[in-house]
């Protein structure tokens, strides 16, 4: 006798809950007339954490897949385009110290690794400018497409900046009105277990008992199901990533014509860094720092100094950060997504992409019956552990490459005992050959592909030894490719509108639906 998996119960809303609900419901809509259901239960009394989110280009695919209109995303979520991130003062701390991690691949990336040719050329151009137009587009405040570019299509690759407080209700409406998700506003008072240790139901104060076959824990840091009920432990990563506190503040624009940066700005401080995200109505900013290296008062002073007169009297919200992740993400018939699964400082906007990837994996591997669930859970756990490990490596890379000596925070971040072994091995390898497809980037859906490592490594002054004679065979192709990049850069700079201009046109006229 098999036990079919038909009733999916997601506990907790916010971006994690509603994005997961949308991905699962869209994938399995054809099964709903036969009894498949997605129910999302969230408390009417618990606010979401969201302070303003950076995303990855994967979100375009995700939203298109669940049937969301990109035009409505901009109209309802105070959305803006994101073309990458600029890291200021991370390498030396000097005022002119900065580089881009753009979202476009280097020119000709799948045919040729341009890194050794750029290193050998040494003409003074940054790596980003030599191989990709996007840094210049960001410098110019340009959008990544035009009003005639269809929804989700790109001229230059892009993601979004969003108001998370508006994004979750936007997803909720779409899930409930279009995808058939059942929404229950209720406080969970008890979680009941079956004899075999599975979760049988949740008991709510307002809606009574809700049974399910598969439960998705989106209860945030509380981790009500995976942590409190099933006892899955938490792997702390504060020995690698030191930042454990954030101070967030919303800064109004000076006027409704103020330029909007089309990239995240990350500016290093004495014991952490400040994010700066431009939305149409405001800037979302905040200071992420290590409380072991700086006091809350000192951190707030650094944040207000960064903001200048505009931030003098604005209220600041303190958010604790517990760096780490669950020892197991899917246990028995419960899988954790979002903050319940873990959290790392938002240096490279990895939170939402992890939600997307987890939701996609759950939807695609949805167990037909309980009897196969443990096999699927094991595969899910292996993949998700790999992803968390790679994100930790990539975030730590930014600190390891820093040459700053002005505080204990930066010096401590380079201590060998704080650097994951895999990252140490890769840094050794990269001294002699630059990251490309031959590295350990062996998964189909790497969160950070080899190009991302290239942009950070060579943006921060890392050097790979180059043998000029080994480049001779490809020299002509490399020269032509980098020349093509110059031509493409100028063409895009001439043809793309300003960021704010395009957003205004989208809100007024809409993009062409796909």
User: Which residues are known to be catalytic?
Assistant: 82
In angstroms, rounded to a whole number, what is the distance separating the alpha carbons of residues 344 and 337? Answer: 14
For residues 341 and 326, the answer to whether their CB atoms sit within 8 Å is: yes
Distance between CA 342 and CA 324 in Å, rounded?
6
Rounded CA separation 313/334 (Å): 44
β-strand partners of 408: none
Q: How far apart are CA 145 and CA 492, in angstroms?
A: 9
CB atoms within 10 A of CB 186: 18
Nearest Cα neighbor of 222 from 16, 363, 9, 23 is 16
Cα separation, 192 vs 353, in Å, equals: 31
Instruction: Give the single-character DSSP code of 472.
Output: G
Tokens of 209: 């008992």
- Are the C-beta atoms of residues 300 and 288 closer than 8 Å to each other? no
Q: What is the DSSP string of 77-113?
A: S--EEE-EEEEESSSS--TT-EEEEESSPPTTTTT--
Please enumerate, as own/partner, the contacts of 472-476 that have beta carbons within 8 Å and a separation of 24 or more. 474/112, 474/117, 475/117
Report d(CA 23, CA 363) in Å as an integer: 7
Helix 373-400 and helix 450-459, axial crossing angle in degrees, nearest 10: 20
- Collapse the DSSP code of 479 into the 3-class scheme (helix H, G, I; strand E, B; otherwise coil) and give the result: helix
Q: How far separated are the first and last CA of the chain, in Å rounded? A: 45
| CB distance 184 to 210 below 8 Å | yes
* Long-range CB contacts (within 8 A, 24+) of 494-497: 495/146, 495/155, 496/137, 496/142, 496/143, 496/144, 496/145, 496/146, 496/155, 496/156, 497/142, 497/143, 497/146, 497/147
279-296 b/e with 16+ CB inside 10 Å = b? bbebbbbbbbbbbebbee
Residue 373: name the closest of 141, 202, 198, 250 by CA: 198
């Amino acid at each position: 006798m098999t036990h079919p998996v038909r009733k999916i119960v997601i506990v907790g809303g916010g971006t994690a809950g509603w994005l997961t609900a949308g991905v699962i419901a869209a994938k399995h809509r054809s099964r709903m007339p036969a009894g498949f259901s997605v129910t999302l239960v969230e408390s009417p009394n618990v606010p979401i954490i969201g302070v303003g989110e950076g995303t990855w280009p994967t979100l375009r695919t995700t939203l298109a897949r669940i049937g969301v209109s990109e035009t409505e995303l901009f109209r309802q979520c105070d959305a803006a385009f994101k073309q990458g991130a600029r890291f200021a003062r991370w390498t030396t701390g000097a005022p002119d110290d900065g580089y881009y991690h753009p979202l476009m691949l280097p020119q000709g990336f799948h045919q040729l690794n341009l890194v050794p040719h750029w290193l050998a050329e040494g003409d003074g151009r940054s790596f980003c400018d030599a191989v990709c137009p996007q840094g210049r587009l960001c410098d110019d405040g340009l959008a990544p497409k035009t009003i005639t570019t269809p929804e989700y299509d790109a001229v230059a690759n892009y993601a979004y900046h969003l108001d998370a407080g508006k994004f979750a209700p936007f997803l909720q409406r779409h899930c409930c009105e279009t995808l058939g998700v059942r929404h229950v506003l209720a406080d969970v008072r008890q979680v009941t277990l079956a004899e075999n240790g599975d979760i049988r139901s949740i008991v709510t104060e307002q809606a009574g008992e809700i049974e399910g076959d598969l439960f998705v824990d989106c209860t945030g840091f509380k981790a009500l199901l995976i942590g409190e009920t099933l006892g899955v432990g938490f792997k702390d990563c504060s020995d690698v990533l030191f930042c454990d506190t954030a101070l967030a503040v919303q800064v109004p624009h000076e006027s409704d014509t103020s330029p909007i940066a089309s990239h995240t700005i990350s500016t290093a401080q004495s014991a952490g860094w400040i994010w700066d995200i431009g939305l149409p109505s405001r800037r979302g900013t905040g200071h992420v720092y290590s409380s072991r290296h700086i006091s809350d008062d000192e951190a707030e002073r650094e944040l207000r100094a960064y903001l200048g007169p505009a931030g003098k009297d604005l209220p600041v919200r303190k958010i604790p950060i517990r760096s780490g992740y669950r020892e197991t993400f899917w246990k028995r018939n419960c899988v954790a997504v979002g903050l319940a699964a873990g959290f790392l400082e938002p240096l490279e906007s990895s939170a939402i992409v992890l939600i997307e990837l987890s939701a996609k994996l759950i939807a695609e591997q949805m167990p037909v019956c309980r009897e196969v669930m443990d096999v699927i859970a094991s595969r899910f756990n292996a993949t998700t552990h790999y992803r968390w490990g790679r994100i930790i490596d990539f975030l730590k890379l930014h600190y390891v490459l820093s040459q700053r000596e002005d505080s204990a925070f930066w010096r401590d971040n380079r201590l060998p005992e704080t650097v994951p072994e895999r990252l140490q091995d890769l840094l050794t390898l990269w001294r002699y050959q630059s990251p490309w497809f031959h590295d350990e980037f062996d998964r189909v859906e790497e969160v950070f592909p080899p190009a991302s490592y290239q942009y950070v490594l060579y943006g921060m002054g890392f050097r790979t030894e180059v043998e000029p004679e080994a480049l001779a065979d490809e020299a002509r192709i490399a020269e032509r490719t980098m020349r093509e990049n110059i031509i493409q850069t100028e063409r895009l700079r001439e043809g793309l509108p300003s960021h704010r201009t395009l957003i205004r046109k989208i809100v007024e006229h809409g993009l062409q639906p796909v």
